[in-house]
Every structure is written in structure tokens, then in C-alpha cells.
């Protein structure tokens, strides 16, 4: 296989990967936007708040981190195309390089990412409130379960700090292809 064929195959493979990541991002957003409220509603309506409600903040954290991971993978594929494939191709429009030179065309990606994260951190804190409320109701009936509530609040706090630090660490690489190499 000559170099041009290899570059073409890499490009095709990465573009297919980008399409797959976009599909996964759609399902993660749908899962989060509709699944989290649905689980919360079902827990309330089925009277399972003591069992399900404390788990919902963890579900929201997983959705947040899955979204950040997929968005970062999407941009990483674009960065590889920009840094390793486009420079070896002459006399062709270089899409990823073109995008990075025009901040305004990446602005929607950044806003979408920011809105998703903002909405899901709101979901996270609302889920914590609901979980703590249900755990307080449980501990009012059984004081021996109070340690469970304290442990849950500690893990929710650690999870929130971890998700926020993950977000801050990956913000640049999740919103553009010009991150440090």
C-alpha cells in the first residue's frame, strides 16, 4: 500500500469514526434529557424513592462523563486529521484546518457543549436534592441508616468535584482541534 492509499484509508476510517461518535452523542443527549427525568418520575410514582433516588445522581454523572468522553474523541479524530493527514495532502481544501482558522464556525460546537454540561450539572444538583430528601425520609424512620445518607452526600460531593475537574481538564480538547499536542 502506498502512502497516498494509506492516508486515504486513515481519513475514511476517521470520518466513519466521527459519524459513529456523532450518533453516540445523540443517544447520550437523548438518554440524559429524557431518561433522567423519566427515572426520577418512575421512582416517585412507584414509591421507590429510597431505592432508586439515591442512584440517580450517579447516573447523571455517568451521562456527563460519557458526553465529555465522546466529544473529546470526536475532536481528537478531527485533530489527527488536521495534524497528520491534511499536511501531507497538497492542493486540497483542508477541512479541519479551515474550521480551526475560523473561530465563528466552531462557536456552535462550544455553545452546544456548554449548554449540555450546564443542563446536566443542574440535573445533577436536582438529583442530589431529591436523593437527600428521600434519604432523610428513610433516616427519620430508621436512625441506623443515617450513615448511608452521610456516605451518599460525601460521594455526591466527590463525584461533583471529579466531574467538574474532568470538565475543566478536557474543555479545550472537547471543543476544538487545536489543543496542545
> Is residue 24 very low, low, confident or very high in pLDDT (cuts 50, 70, 90)?
very high
> Is residue 133 very low, low, confident or very high in pLDDT (cuts 50, 70, 90)?
confident
Residue with the bigger pLDDT between 14 and 97: it is 14
Whether 179 has a pLDDT exceeding 70, the answer reads no
pLDDT of residue 181: 44
pLDDT of residue 5: 85
Its pTM stands at 0.82
Report pLDDT digits (tens) over 41-72: 888 888 766 678 888 999 999 999 899 899 98
SS (H, E, C) 12-68: HHHHHHHHHHHHHHHHHHHHHHHHHHHHHHHHHHCCCHHHHHHHHHHHHHHHHHHHH
Average pLDDT, the chain: 84
pLDDT of residue 19: 94
Each residue of 129-165: b (16+ CB within 10 Å) or e? Answer: ebbbebbeebbeeeeeeeeebeebeeebeebbeebee
End-to-end CA distance of the chain: 28
Whether 94 has a pLDDT exceeding 50, the answer reads yes
Amino acid at each position: 500500500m502506498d502512502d497516498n492509499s494509506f492516508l486515504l484509508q486513515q481519513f475514511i476510517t476517521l470520518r466513519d469514526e466521527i459519524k459513529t461518535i456523532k450518533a453516540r452523542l445523540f443517544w447520550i443527549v437523548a438518554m440524559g434529557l429524557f431518561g433522567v427525568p423519566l427515572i426520577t418520575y418512575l421512582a416517585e410514582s412507584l414509591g421507590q424513592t429510597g431505592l432508586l433516588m439515591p442512584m440517580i445522581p450517579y447516573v447523571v454523572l455517568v451521562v456527563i462523563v460519557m458526553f465529555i468522553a465522546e466529544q473529546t474523541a470526536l475532536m481528537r479524530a478531527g485533530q489527527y486529521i488536521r495534524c497528520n493527514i491534511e499536511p501531507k495532502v497538497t492542493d486540497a481544501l483542508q477541512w479541519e484546518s479551515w474550521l480551526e482558522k475560523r473561530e465563528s464556525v466552531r462557536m456552535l460546537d462550544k455553545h452546544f457543549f456548554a449548554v449540555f454540561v450546564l443542563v446536566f450539572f443542574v440535573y445533577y444538583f436536582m438529583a442530589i436534592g431529591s436523593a437527600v430528601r428521600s434519604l432523610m425520609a428513610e433516616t427519620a424512620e430508621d436512625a441506623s441508616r443515617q450513615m448511608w445518607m452521610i456516605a451518599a452526600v460525601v460521594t455526591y460531593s466527590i463525584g461533583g468535584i471529579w466531574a467538574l475537574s474532568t470538565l475543566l481538564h478536557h474543555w479545550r480538547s472537547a471543543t476544538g482541534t487545536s489543543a496542545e499536542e
